[in-house]
Amino acid sequence: MEQSVISNLILSNSMILQGQPKWTFGKNTCNTYEMVVTHFRDSAGKLMPAWPILRIVEQDDALTQLFSTTLLWEAVRQTVRISDEVNTNITLSLNLLPRFAENEFFVEQVRSCLEETGLPSRHFQFEVSELQDINQQGCDNLNYIHDELGVTLVMGNFGTKKTNIPLLCKVHFDLIEMDKDLSLAIPQDDLSCKAVIAIQHMADTLGINVCAKGIETQEQFEFYEEIGIFKGQGPLIGPIMSLDDLKEYVKRYGLKKGHE
């Protein structure tokens, strides 16, 4: 697919956003939700899976900037809309490609998006994807929006591809996400359990939190809760769902405004 075709898909507001809850262990509430692009709609109205298009986007710097900027604004707008409609403070967790942060206008883009939409910075999480490298300017920009704007930084799929220990030492992360494959053998496999506990101990030492992904069973949920994992995500907690279904989920589990 040509760059111009993908650019038109992005600019024509054809992205289909869906959301998935991130549960806070120890509380019967959920106010954090990840939004992802699952499909694009072409000019004829036909839905196309997003992943083949996103694979091209991640290899192209211009498309990375265009896609990330468009996704940032659309996801924040939708978050504010849902938050207002259900009177709940939703925290948006958004997976964005690292090279987006290398843009000289990145900090101002994030600042203006939050200010113009009215989403408080404490309710925005920037998930740094494992799919791209990031240079020093990108790291500096991430640290700025964390330290000066109050945006939460999340390392996506820790230990896979580009989200590794060296990056953990450069960026002021608040939370690391474990890859969902780590949950496959939990709690049956002793070595897998020890590996997860070791990650939790490392996070404690660094003063950051951990999110476990791929939770499919009650046994996995209870294991993660017992060892002190902060957040969880997966089919047991809630599948990727339409924004209408996500709004109903928020109504059921989200804390109302004024009760954070």
What are the tens digits of pLDDT across the range 108-130?
999 999 999 999 999 999 999 99
Which amino acid is residue 37, in one-letter code?
A: V
Mean pLDDT of the chain: 94
pLDDT at 241 over 70: yes
* Model confidence band, residue 136 (pLDDT cutoffs 50, 70, 90): very high
Cis upstream peptide for 187 (omega within 30°): yes
255: left (phi over 0), alpha (psi -120 to 50) or beta: beta
Confirm whether 13 is domain-assigned.
yes
What are the tens digits of pLDDT across the range 19-30?
999 999 988 789
Confirm whether 102 is domain-assigned.
yes
Cβ contact 61:55 at 8 Å: no
Neighbour tally for 152: CB within 10 Å:
21
Cβ contact 141:106 at 8 Å: yes
CA–CA separation, 161 and 68 (whole Å): 20
Instruction: Please give the pLDDT value at position 161.
Output: 87
Confirm whether 194 is domain-assigned.
yes
CA–CA separation, 152 and 173 (whole Å): 7
Domain count, the chain: 1
pLDDT at 43 over 80: yes
CA–CA separation, 4 and 81 (whole Å): 31
CA distances from 43 to 7, 46, 49, 150 (A): 13, 7, 15, 39
* Model confidence band, residue 259 (pLDDT cutoffs 50, 70, 90): very low
Place of tokens 């791929």: 214
Query: What percent of the chain lies above the pLDDT cut of 70?
Result: 98
Domain that holds residue 69: 3-253
Q: How many CA atoms lie within 13 A of 203 on its CB side?
A: 25
pLDDT at 156 over 80: yes
Residues pairing with 211 in the sheet: 177, 231
Percent of the chain that is helix, strand, coil (3-state, to 5): 45, 20, 30
Confirm whether 135 is domain-assigned.
yes
Q: What is the mean pLDDT of residues 167-185?
A: 94
Higher pLDDT, 207 or 256: 207
Q: Are strands 209-212 and 175-178 parallel, antiparallel or unpaired?
A: parallel
CA–CA separation, 21 and 235 (whole Å): 10
Higher pLDDT, 179 or 259: 179
Confirm whether 259 is domain-assigned.
no
* Model confidence band, residue 258 (pLDDT cutoffs 50, 70, 90): low
Instruction: Please give the pLDDT value at position 260.
Output: 47
pLDDT at 256 over 80: no
CATH number for the domain spanning 65: value is: 3.20.20.450
Q: What is the mean pLDDT of residues 79-106?
A: 95
Confirm whether 245 is domain-assigned.
yes
DSSP-assigned letters across all residues of 2-20: -HHHHHHHHHTT-EEEEEE
Confirm whether 120 is domain-assigned.
yes
CA–CA separation, 100 and 65 (whole Å): 5
Backbone angles phi, psi at 208, to 5 degrees: -125, 170
Confirm whether 258 is domain-assigned.
no
